[in-house]
Amino acid sequence: MGLKLEINNLSFSYNGYPALEGVTLELGPGEVLGIVGPNGSGKSTLLKCMNRILKTKQNTILIDGEDVRNIGLKKLAKLMGYVPQNSRNIFPFTVFDIVLMGRKPYIQWSLSEKDKEIVAQILEHLGIGNLAMRYFNELSGGEQQKVIIARALAQQPQILLLDEPTSSLDIRHQLEILCILRSLAQSKHCSVILSMHDLNLASRFSDTMVMIKKGCIFAVGNPESVITEENIETVYGIKSRVTKSVLGIPQVTPLESENNTIVNLLPPKIATKY
Amino acid sequence: MSTAAELKKLYSKGKSRKVLVIFSIFIALFITVLISVSLGAGSPRFNEAINVILNKIFPSLDFNPGSKITQIIILELRLPRIALAIIAGAGLAASGAVMQGVLRNPLVSSYILGISSAAGFGAALAIVFEVGILAQYSDYITIVNAFFFSFLAMLLVLGIARIRGITSETVILAGIAVSFLFSAMLSLIQFLAPEHEALRAVVFWLLGSFQKASWDNVLITIPIVSFTILLMMKQSWDLNVMSLGEDVATSLGVNSKRVLLTSMVLGTLATATIISFTGVIGFICLISPHLARMIIGSDHRFLLPCCTVIGACLLLASDTVARTVMPPVEFPVGIITSLLGVPFFIYILLSRRRQSWG
């Protein structure tokens, strides 16, 4: 159960503009890897490279020792699920239909009973069974995100890639979705790789964190070693205070940006305190 | 909260409902055929028409074969025309659905992609200047020309799109450019056309008509069009997944570029085959997929069959009106499709609460 993912010296550029340079990473089964970094630092590109959406050089991404480029797209789809940053459908599909599409890599000619069974169980498990016959476009952002995750789960993947799965959600949905992912890693030994903006959430839910700066890995390790005041200042260019949260996990309070504007914009009460 | 077993049952129920919907549109098509065969210039009405047809199918049974003239009207004029209208409506509608689906754009039609204007250009070239590919077979010069230029347009579109990497955006933009190119050349031919008659023929061709329908045409179009429709239906799952976007399609194991290319080629093949025989019939390929989506949803496994039957039904009804409303004048079918289709479309659009795209 579970697969090992290796990334060896991965570089990628869009028409000559480098997006990733010399990224090397390793991830074991059942681990949750949180990728953080400023906008445009290459988080999404890294996820897309892993999944062959973007074409990489030979032998840079290996699953259990095998180059992803030698694994057929269809077989790869049975190993790896992908949840993109934003999902919008031009044409209306019901929730059941959308999740059923996750079975695509398994479908030969027509749907089997097993396909329907798996979809129904995933919907029930994620608590969105009541939405099954609703149209995807009519759901709220949080509900939509759960549906998209359900679709990725229908692929029965061993590795799950998620591009900012919580950025547009309220705190309840953020927690729910991250709990779903954690329990998936624990119970099914599925490796979960997610890019995130919220450093506090990332440090709370990741086993390992990677901080990316301009396409290069700046820091990698457990949340305590990655989320430090120095790292945040170098990578994001803001001064912050890192404290322990009530759960004993690093918690970031941003204070001041390089050009010192934030403090002037603080409500007067807090500004004097600072 | 619903349990997994209930969900499965709910899904199966929805599926049976869709099959039932498709079946009822089939019946509507059958009724349209019966009406169409009983109407038109010449005397034969419903009873005679049915008798002639049944006599032809079951010669051993005791059906009234009717007079010689009745037989010709029914068997040589009305039936091939009905058959061509059905296959044309079916093929155009299916192509429209596939192209809209694979390009993820509800406005795509054979006009947008340059196929129609290229066919028009080819036909005009043949009609006005009698210049054409394989010009020695003069009977078919218009048909061959229209077909050739439609395919040329598609190759141009795909060739241009390829330079920037084939995606739905590049294909659509290249299509618009190619469409304008061929429209301009078509206008140029019309402007330079030496005689009034040729110009009139070009305009008539551009509006589409089934006047020249014959069993020969039907026998050429039916195998090509039905084969392409079957291939399109075989791709239903790929098309469904493509509507989630090219990235997600790739992550679900679908080679999105290949699906895009195949769909474009199949769509063009069906459309070009049809319009080279009938002249440009627009609108059906734009409107039928929308009607079908409103009635049955976007799942291509059901959308394609539903859309195919709707297209056939609409085009047959339009052609029946076109040839019977003011005899002996025959309206170009393109005019009637829009006149009939638009109010119907708006009615369905307004009576549906649910948004069907966007």
Structure tokens at A151: 């679709």
Query: Distances from the Cα of A182 to the Cαs of A28, A127, A193, A202, B51, in angstroms?
Result: 14, 16, 11, 12, 72
Nearest by CB to A53, which of B11, B105, B250?
B250
Show the 3-state SS of B248-272: HHHHCCCCHHHHHHHHHHHHHHHHH
Contact: B298, A91; criterion CB under 8 Å: yes
pTM to 2 decimals?
0.88
A127 vs B contacts (CB less than 8 Å)? 1
Q: Is the pLDDT of residue B353 over 80?
A: no
Give the range among B1-5, B15-19, B53-57, B282-286 with minimum mean pLDDT: B1-5
For an interface test with A, the pick among B251, B301, B355 (most A C-beta atoms closer than 10 Å) comes out as: B251
Residue pair A107/B301 in contact (Cβ under 8 Å)? The answer is no
Residue pair B114/B179 in contact (Cβ under 8 Å)? The answer is yes
Size of interface A-B (CB pairs under 8 A): 126
How far is Cα B48 from Cα B63, in angstroms, rounded to an integer?
Answer: 10
Q: What's the gap in Å between the CA of A30 and the closest CA on chain B?
A: 20
Give the other-Cβ count within 10 Å of A202's Cβ.
27
pLDDT digits (tens, 9 = 90+) for B266-303: 999 999 999 988 888 878 888 899 889 888 889 999 99
Any idea which residue has 């009234």 for tokens?
A: B64
Gyration radius of chain B over CA positions? 21
ipTM computed for the complex: 0.87
Give the range among A158-162, B51-55, B314-318 with minimum mean pLDDT: B51-55
Structure tokens at B60: 């051993």
How far is Cα A88 from Cα B247, in angstroms, rounded to an integer?
Answer: 12
DSSP-derived secondary structure letter, B75 = I
Give the range among B41-45, B56-60, B104-108, B309-313 with minimum mean pLDDT: B41-45
Nearest by CB to B8, which of A89, A104, A116?
A116
- Average pLDDT of chain B, as a whole number: 86
Q: What pLDDT is attached to residue B335?
A: 86
A133 vs B contacts (CB less than 8 Å)? 10-11, 14
**Which stretches of chain A drop beneath a pLDDT of 70?**
1, 258-274
Contact: A91, B356; criterion CB under 8 Å: yes
How far is Cα A132 from Cα A100, in angstroms, rounded to an integer?
Answer: 11
Residue pair A36/A193 in contact (Cβ under 8 Å)? The answer is no
Residue pair A73/B254 in contact (Cβ under 8 Å)? The answer is yes
Mean pLDDT confidence for B206-233 = 91
Strands A159-163 and A208-213, bridge-based pairing: unpaired
> Does A262 touch chain B if contact means CB atoms closer than 8 Å?
no
Mean pLDDT confidence for B252-269 = 92
> Does B167 touch chain A if contact means CB atoms closer than 8 Å?
no
Structure tokens at A39: 């906008």
> Does A1 touch chain B if contact means CB atoms closer than 8 Å?
no
Q: Is B327 or B336 the better-scoring residue by pLDDT?
A: B336
Give the range among A33-42, A227-236, B41-50, B210-219 with minimum mean pLDDT: B41-50
Strands A32-36 and A208-213, bridge-based pairing: parallel
Q: What's the gap in Å between the CA of B300 and the closest CA on chain A?
A: 10
For an interface test with A, the pick among B163, B169, B252, B357 (most A C-beta atoms closer than 10 Å) comes out as: B252
Nearest by CB to A91, which of B11, B243, B251?
B243
How far is Cα B192 from Cα B275, in angstroms, rounded to an integer?
Answer: 24
For an interface test with B, the pick among A91, A111, A139 (most B C-beta atoms closer than 10 Å) comes out as: A91
Q: Is the pLDDT of residue B87 over 90?
A: yes
For an interface test with B, the pick among A48, A69, A90, A126 (most B C-beta atoms closer than 10 Å) comes out as: A90
Confidence grade of residue B27 (pLDDT, cut at 50, 70, 90): very high
A38: burial class by Cβ within 10 Å (0-12, 13-18, 19+)?
A: middle
Q: What pLDDT is attached to residue B358?
A: 41
Confidence grade of residue B357 (pLDDT, cut at 50, 70, 90): very low
B298 vs A contacts (CB less than 8 Å)? 91-93, 97
Give the range among B86-95, B136-145, B211-220, B280-289 with minimum mean pLDDT: B136-145
Helix (H) or strand (E) run with residue B40 in it:
none
> Does B243 touch chain A if contact means CB atoms closer than 8 Å?
yes
Q: Is the pLDDT of residue B224 over 60?
A: yes
